[in-house]
Amino acid sequence: MQDEGRRVSSAIGEKLLQGWTLMADACPKCVYTPLVRNRKGELFCVACDAYLKKESPDADNKDDEARRTEKAVQERKELSTGERTEEAGSILVQKEAIK
């Protein structure tokens, strides 16, 4: 098991030296291995020795669109109620009303 950890660490180090980016997300298949991303934006797991397949090209766009819509609705609510909210991670924290 320690040999596997060393192999994975070494492989990640090699990818970083080649200009890859270490991601905060872990591989959904083997769970513990951090993913790396190449310059083309493709995600790779060194433990599985495989690229991750994208769900669909539109999946990221739909998520971005949903976030923009949610933000626009929140801004409209703030303007109509006079209340301000501040985003902390994915949690909205209510602030006192702006006077």
Residues 39-60 have pLDDT tens digits of 999 999 999 999 998 765 555 5
Q: Is 11 helix (H, G, I), strand (E, B) or coil?
A: helix
From residue 2, alpha-carbon distances to 9, 13, 27, 29 in Å are: 10, 16, 19, 19
Q: pTM for the full model?
A: 0.54
Residues 15-46 have pLDDT tens digits of 999 999 999 999 999 988 999 999 999 999 99
